[in-house]
Amino acid sequence: MSAEAVKRPDRQPDASTVKQPYEAVIGLEVHAQLRTRTKMFCGCSTAFGARPNTQTCPVCQGMPGTLPVINRRAVEFGIKTALAINCTVNADNRFARKHYYYPDMPKNYQISQYEEPLAEHGHLDITTADGMRRIGIQRLHLEEDVGKLVHEGTLETALSSQVDFNRAGVPLMEIVSKPDLRTSEEAAAYLKALRAILVYLDVCDGNMEEGSLRCDANISLRHAGAKEFGTKVEIKNMNSFKNVQHALDYEIKRQARALDTGERIVQETRLWDPDRAHTVSMRSKEFAHDYRYFPEPDLPPLDVAAAWIDRIRGTLPELPAARRQRFMMAYTLSPYDAEVATSSKALADYFETAAQGSRNPKTVANWVLNEVLRVVPPDDEKAIAACPITPAALQELIGLIEDGTISGRIAKDVFDKMLASGEGARVIVAREGLTQVADASELGAVVDNVLSTHAKVVEDYKAGKKAALGFLVGQVMKWTSGKASPAVVNALLLEKLPKL
Partner 1 sequence: MLTRLTVHELGARFRSGEATPSEATRAYLDRIGALNPKVKAYLTQTADGALAEAAQADARFRSKCPLSLLDGVPVGLKDVFCTRGVETTCGSQILRGFRPPYDATVVARLRAAGAVLLGKLNMDEFAMGSSTENSAFFTTRNPWDLSRVPGGSSGGSAAAVAADLAAATLGTDTGGSIRQPAAFCGTVGLKPTYGRVSRYGLIAFASSLDQVGPFGKDVADTALVLQTIAGHDPLDATSATIPVPDYAAALSQGITGLKVGIPNEYFIEGLDPEVEAAVRGAIATLERLGAEAQSVSLPHTEYGLAAYYVIAPAEASSNLARYDGVKYGLRVPGARDVIDMYSRTRGAGFGAEVKRRVMLGTYALSAGYYDAYYGKAQKVRTLVLRDFQRAFEHVDVIVAPTTPGVAFKLGEREDPLQMYLNDVFTIPVNLAGLPGLSMPAGFTQNGLPIGLQIIGKAFDEATILKVAKAYEAATPWRERKPELEAR
**Identified binder of partner 1 from the candidate list 6, 70, 316, 419, rule CB under 8 A:** 70
Residue 66 touches partner 1, criterion: CB under 8 A: yes
- Closest Cα partner for 243 from 218, 271, 221? 271
Residue 282 touches partner 1, criterion: CB under 8 A: no
**Identified binder of partner 1 from the candidate list 13, 27, 106, 179, rule CB under 8 A:** 106
- Closest Cα partner for 82 from 70, 90, 72? 90
**Identified binder of partner 1 from the candidate list 58, 335, 377, 388, rule CB under 8 A:** 58
C-alpha to C-alpha distance for 248 and 279, rounded to whole angstroms: 9
Residue 166 near residue 52, CB atoms below 8 Å: yes
Residue 150 touches partner 1, criterion: CB under 8 A: no
Q: Which amino acid is at 232?
A: K
Taking the least distance from each CB to partner 1, the nearer of 143 and 396 is 143
Interface region with partner 1, contact rule CB under 8 A, candidates 68-76, 126-134, 138-146, 262-270: 68-76
Interface region with partner 1, contact rule CB under 8 A, candidates 22-30, 96-104, 212-220, 347-355: 96-104
Residue 96 near residue 293, CB atoms below 8 Å: yes
Interface region with partner 1, contact rule CB under 8 A, candidates 30-38, 58-66, 249-257, 357-365: 58-66
Taking the least distance from each CB to partner 1, the nearer of 109 and 367 is 109
Residue 108 touches partner 1, criterion: CB under 8 A: yes
Taking the least distance from each CB to partner 1, the nearer of 22 and 41 is 41
Taking the least distance from each CB to partner 1, the nearer of 5 and 305 is 305
Residue 403 touches partner 1, criterion: CB under 8 A: no
CB of 412 vs partner 1, minimal distance in Å:
60
Residue 107 touches partner 1, criterion: CB under 8 A: yes
Taking the least distance from each CB to partner 1, the nearer of 241 and 293 is 293
Taking the least distance from each CB to partner 1, the nearer of 42 and 492 is 42
CB of 396 vs partner 1, minimal distance in Å:
53
CB of 244 vs partner 1, minimal distance in Å:
30
Query: Following CA atoms 221, 225, 227, 230 in sequence, which dihedral angle do they give, to the nearest 10 degrees?
Result: -10
**Identified binder of partner 1 from the candidate list 163, 376, 384, 458, rule CB under 8 A:** 163
Residue 12 touches partner 1, criterion: CB under 8 A: no
Taking the least distance from each CB to partner 1, the nearer of 288 and 494 is 288
Residue 332 near residue 341, CB atoms below 8 Å: no
Taking CB under 8 A as the rule, which mask of x and - marks residues 109-148 in contact with partner 1? x---------------------------------------
Residue 317 touches partner 1, criterion: CB under 8 A: no
C-alpha to C-alpha distance for 241 and 206, rounded to whole angstroms: 11
Residues that contact partner 1, how many (by CB under 8 A): 29
Interface region with partner 1, contact rule CB under 8 A, candidates 10-18, 292-300, 316-324, 478-486: 292-300
Query: Following CA atoms 268, 274, 278, 284 in sequence, which dihedral angle do they give, to the nearest 10 degrees?
Result: -10
Taking CB under 8 A as the rule, which mask of x and - marks residues 184-223 in contact with partner 1? ----------------------------------------
CB of 293 vs partner 1, minimal distance in Å:
8
Taking the least distance from each CB to partner 1, the nearer of 305 and 463 is 305
**Identified binder of partner 1 from the candidate list 33, 36, 46, 61, rule CB under 8 A:** 61
Interface region with partner 1, contact rule CB under 8 A, candidates 103-111, 240-248, 270-278, 384-392: 103-111
Residue 474 touches partner 1, criterion: CB under 8 A: no
List residues binding partner 1 (CB under 8 A): 58, 61-70, 97, 99, 101, 103, 106-109, 163, 290-294, 297-300
